[in-house]
Amino acid sequence: MITVNGTPRETPAEPTVAALVKGLAGVPADGRGVAVAVDGEVVPRGSWATSTIADGARVEVVGAVQGG
């Protein structure tokens, strides 16, 4: 079990940041405009495919919002 943006959810079958982001509703599949932190540490986009998410991890996924 992991926590994503404060909501508990099952650890993904493929526990990488890239797989998690791809599976989130409302998040672009390529992750553009998205930042991810695992247990308080920002994960650079270039590391998403190799960064794993362990059981018990707290993940924050935030998206940029355009406005004026």
Specify the pLDDT at position 20.
Answer: 92
Q: What local confidence, expressed as pLDDT, does residue 41 receive?
A: 97
d(CA 5, CA 57) in angstroms, rounded, equals 11
Q: Over the chain, what is the mean pLDDT?
A: 90
Taking a C-beta distance cutoff of 8 angstroms, is the pair 55, 2 a contact? Answer: yes
C-alpha distance across the termini of the chain, in Å: 38
Give the integer Cα–Cα distance in Å for 57 and 11: 9
pLDDT given for residue 26 in this prediction = 80
Question: For the chain, which domains are there?
Answer: 2-63 (3.10.20.30)
- pLDDT by 10s per residue, the chain, length 68: 999 999 999 988 889 999 999 888 888 777 788 999 999 999 999 999 999 999 999 999 998 777 65
H helical segments located in 1-68: 17-23
This prediction has a pTM of 0.86
